[in-house]
Amino acid sequence: MMLGAAVVGSSVVAVIVASQSVTAGSAPPGGHLRVTDSIGDVFAHPAFAGFGRLLLPWDDRRYDTAMPLSNIGSLLPYHTHVVPALVVSSLNRMIDDANAGRTVFYDIYTNAEMNTDPSRRKTGLFFFRGKPGAPFAVIAPGGGFAYVGSLHEAFRTPSKSATAGTTHSS
């Protein structure tokens, strides 16, 4: 099995692809997200149970859970050209993997290590599978000086090339 992942600072990064619409309103449990869905829908999605907050730029900040994903770029003040449809497509790729029984997030530290140092709970790897035998890439987004822009920098590139078969680690 080919896997891809990424770690940056004390935050986590991911890669994602494949978009499909659902009806207006909240995303159904286990279903795809839309740009009209909210950050709260991402947090509550079963595919992201236990690590959903690590998908966003700041892991130590309160978010407006009612904010639609169409406004996701407002969370990335140092980034331009954040395309909500690409972000949602990437998240949907992760949802598809999780729904297929594939683990999309791995803790780096053991439970004992995280209990000793709770900040270690904010670190992990998102894995994005490509085709077996295809090239492997590690993507480490920048921006750790203020926040980690995984949604824009790390997810987009691996999502596109994973569709072409390359496995990524973000």
Q: Tell me the per-residue pLDDT of 123-151, one tens digit each, with 9 for 90 and over.
A: 888 888 888 888 877 777 665 666 666 66
What number of other Cβ atoms are within 10 A of residue 28's Cβ? 12
Chain-wide mean pLDDT for the chain? Answer: 73
Model pTM score? 0.72
Determine the Cα–Cα distance for residues 83 and 113; give it in Å rounded to an integer. 37
Q: What pLDDT, in 10s, does the model give residues 47-58?
A: 999 888 888 887
φ, ψ (nearest 5 deg) of residue 14 = -150, 170
Q: Is 124 in contact with 108 (CB distance < 8 Å)?
A: yes
Q: What pLDDT, in 10s, does the model give residues 77-95?
A: 777 778 889 889 989 989 9
155 or 167, higher pLDDT: 155
